Amino acid sequence: MESPGRRPDRPARPGTLVAAAAVAVLGVAGAVPVSGGSTPAAGTVAQESTYQALEVFNGALMLIRDQYLEPVDPAFLMDGAVRGIFEALDADSAYLSADELARYRNRGSLRAGVGIGLQKRYYLHVDDVLPGSPAAAAGIERGVAITAIDGRNTRELRIPVALLLLAGEPGTSVELSLRSATDPEPRPVTLERTVLADPSVEHRMLEEGIGLVRIRRFHEGTAAQLAEAIQSLEAGGADSLVLDLRGSRGSGGCEAGAKVAGVFAEGEEAQLVQRDADGEEVTTPLPAPAGEPLFEGPLAVAVNRGTVCPGEVLAAVLKSRENVDVVGRRTAGRTGRPELIELPEGDAILLSTAHIRGPDGEDILGVGVAPSLGPADLEIEPAELDDDDPELDLATRALKRRRTAANDPG
């Protein structure tokens, strides 16, 4: 049997956080600083609840040391404990080893990828596949579990670290271990990284009077492309729109969703939530760029678990407005703003120090944006929806109801 202290898929060296945890648990020091410089929490005195939690942890550590079936390397144990702390935080907070930090600093040169969006459910799972990407060419589908990336077990990988591992130089390869519901064992798949262009906003007519606009990725040109798509659809006779945000994400921060909201009817704004030096909550409105909205007609917004960050903010803003239905599944709940905090021994943490809240004052972080309309609201059964794309069918039906109501003189 392989010793837990010698597993190969964990970093071998404990970093600053691990060392600090060890000192605190063993009672060598009182309040243990984890950074030589100032951080948002620097200079604060540990609260009594923190000490009580450390006492519980200390007791568990001693029991493992004295009664576990075989000896365990304390550094390995502490590394697991520190990484476990981040499992209790939002999906975009993470501990970075020295090697992971070096890769994070160099991420600007990691220009190529494989076209996979990720979700964490014990293992990492694929929640989106970019059309035309290496993942799509390999037949990888949404929902499949990724159990390892280049040999690293994904149970121990946070999403930011996994994304770093998937990125790289063009022409280099990454090996994934994939397991679907029908696979008795994980199967290896090797993908060659390639430079992925930001996909354009897609649009087409669904049927008379109803157009479809899809945003797969938010980027610098998204608002302009969206405006062009809407103008094209209106020229083709569309007076109602389906805005498909399923699988949408972006690299410019969640605020990008608030900016795009200005294309649609005016309304309340999303809020950036932070805490000041005294721990008090401070909110800042995220206004859309000034200008007249381009589209104020009936709108149905389709979302799912793959709707991340800017797509969630846009959905939350639009949900608060008149003439809008949100359909599909609850979004990912990933609207944190992670800040890199480097530590003295070469490791670091990514810690969400702010997040974005919807106009209605409800949190999105860790909760997601819930649909406002389901099949029951249209007095239909889920089985009546189109098997190929039930969410799009529901969105189209919702728009037809609104158009019928608008044209009903009674």
- Rounded CA-CA distance 325/402 in Å is 10
Least-confidence region, from 10-19, 44-53, 378-387? 10-19
CATH of 202-338+350-407, one of 1.10.10.10, 2.60.34.30, 1.10.443.10, 3.90.226.10: 3.90.226.10
- pLDDT of 257 > 60? The answer is yes
Angle at 373 between CA 368 and CA 375, to 5 degrees: 120
Phi, psi of 201 (to 5 degrees): -65, 125
Quote the pLDDT of residue 381: 94
How does the average pLDDT of the chain come out, rounded? 86
The reply to whether 202-338+350-407 shares the fold of 101-195 is no
Q: Mind listing the pLDDT tens digit for each residue in 276-291?
A: 888 889 999 998 877 7
- The pTM for the full model equals 0.83
Quote the pLDDT of residue 406: 74
Quote the pLDDT of residue 12: 40
- Rounded CA-CA distance 353/340 in Å is 10
- pLDDT of 77 > 70? The answer is yes
Quote the pLDDT of residue 289: 79
- pLDDT of 147 > 90? The answer is yes
Q: Which two tokens stand for residue 104?
A: 């994070």
Quote the percentage of the chain above a pLDDT of 90: 62
Neighbours of 370 (CB within 10 A): 16
Which fold would CATH assign to domain 101-195? Pdz3 Domain (2.30.42)
- pLDDT of 159 > 80? The answer is yes
Residues 90 and 120: beta-carbon distance below 8 Å: no
Most confident of 7-11, 23-27, 109-113, 373-377: 373-377
List the chain domain ranges. Answer: 4-88, 101-195, 202-338+350-407
Q: Mind listing the pLDDT tens digit for each residue in 312-356?
A: 999 999 999 889 999 999 999 999 999 999 988 889 999 999 999
**pLDDT range class, residue 83, cuts 50, 70, 90:** confident
Quote the pLDDT of residue 377: 94
Quote the pLDDT of residue 233: 97
- pLDDT of 7 > 50? The answer is no
Q: Which of 270, 272, 301, 295 is nearest to 396 (CA)?
A: 301
Q: Which two tokens stand for residue 232?
A: 């094209």
Quote the pLDDT of residue 409: 56
Quote the pLDDT of residue 278: 82
Quote the pLDDT of residue 30: 36
Residues 130 and 166: beta-carbon distance below 8 Å: no
Q: Mind listing the pLDDT tens digit for each residue in 30-41?
A: 333 333 334 444
Quote the percentage of the chain above a pLDDT of 70: 88
Least-confidence region, from 32-41, 131-140, 172-181, 301-310? 32-41
Q: Count Cβ atoms within 10 A of the Cβ of residue 137 and give its class: 0-12 exposed, 13-18 middle, 19 or more buried.
A: middle
Quote the pLDDT of residue 47: 64
Q: Count Cβ atoms within 10 A of the Cβ of residue 53 and give its class: 0-12 exposed, 13-18 middle, 19 or more buried.
A: exposed
**pLDDT range class, residue 24, cuts 50, 70, 90:** very low
